[in-house]
A and B are shown apart, each in its own frame.
Chain A
């Protein structure tokens, strides 16, 4: 799967180690999360379906 370009929570580019990209469980939107947002457990929400994670 091609990586998302930006973190969905903070908008930072996903270039560092620890960032990830996955598909939203409810719809097929790509969700990107950067290393710091994953480390600090920052919530993300899908812009298409409104799913809030983690």
Chain B
């Protein structure tokens, strides 16, 4: 590797919110054995065992972009959903620190579309942990015409997703790290913390129990 290239790589890692090693140890870059055309541009390479690897530089950029986007909305008008077990604690924590509304566990049909349904809400933005698992929420968001931010793995399609965060959306630690970074970035964008160091909770606080 030439010196210039090494310096370029160093610069890229310095621009990132946390070091690439943290991303690697949390398994944010680990994809699945399936690849969709939509996610092709976010894939870095395919490993010998057939696993597709996600480009963590893009993950980092997109978390930043998503945080900027989310901070443009009133937190009370944002809904974050996760049917996945490992995504439920991280989203509850995200809600605790940012004030975003949370719906963990089963998404009751009609929550966004049926005014007479129990727990009916009218959010202006939806955040989904897995577009495949949270398809009911995604469908209803489409019906009411609100934008969607989605955490997408290599096997996800980007139908009705307006801002994508390419990441491993199945891992316990990966989901905890992504939501921790997202909460920190949202608070910074909103001006509630001055720098990232002022964000006291740790990634472990966001991790779901095994």
Tally of contacts, chain A with chain B, CB under 8 A: 51
Query: Contacts A17-B145, A18-B142, A20-B146; is A25 near B158 (CB within 8 Å)?
Result: no
- The one of A19, A20, A25, A35 in contact with B68, judged by C-beta atoms closer than 8 angstroms, is A25
- The one of A17, A39, A54 in contact with B162, judged by C-beta atoms closer than 8 angstroms, is A54
Chain B interface SS verdict (over half): loop
Q: Report A-chain residues with C-beta under 8 Å of the C-beta of B162.
A: 20, 22, 33, 38, 53-54
Question: Bound state CA distance, A20 and B138, in angstroms?
Answer: 13
Query: Contacts A25-B163, A54-B161; is A18 near B143 (CB within 8 Å)?
Result: yes
Q: Report A-chain residues with C-beta under 8 Å of the C-beta of B103.
A: none
With both chains docked as a complex, state the minimum distance between the C-beta of A1 and any C-beta of chain B, in angstroms. Answer: 8
Most chain B CB inside 10 Å of its own CB: which residue of A17, A19, A22, A51: A22
Q: Report B-chain residues with C-beta under 8 Å of the C-beta of A10.
A: none
Chain A residues near B (Cβ < 8 Å): 1, 17-23, 25-26, 33, 35, 38-39, 41, 51, 53-54
Question: Which 10 A-B pairs give the minimum distances between C-beta atoms?
Answer: A25-B69, A22-B147, A41-B158, A25-B68, A54-B164, A25-B65, A41-B38, A20-B145, A18-B142, A38-B160
**23 A-B pairs (CB sep. < 8 Å):** A17-B145, A18-B142, A18-B143, A18-B160, A20-B146, A20-B147, A20-B162, A22-B69, A22-B162, A25-B66, A25-B68, A25-B69, A25-B72, A26-B65, A33-B162, A39-B160, A41-B38, A41-B157, A53-B162, A53-B163, A53-B164, A54-B158, A54-B161
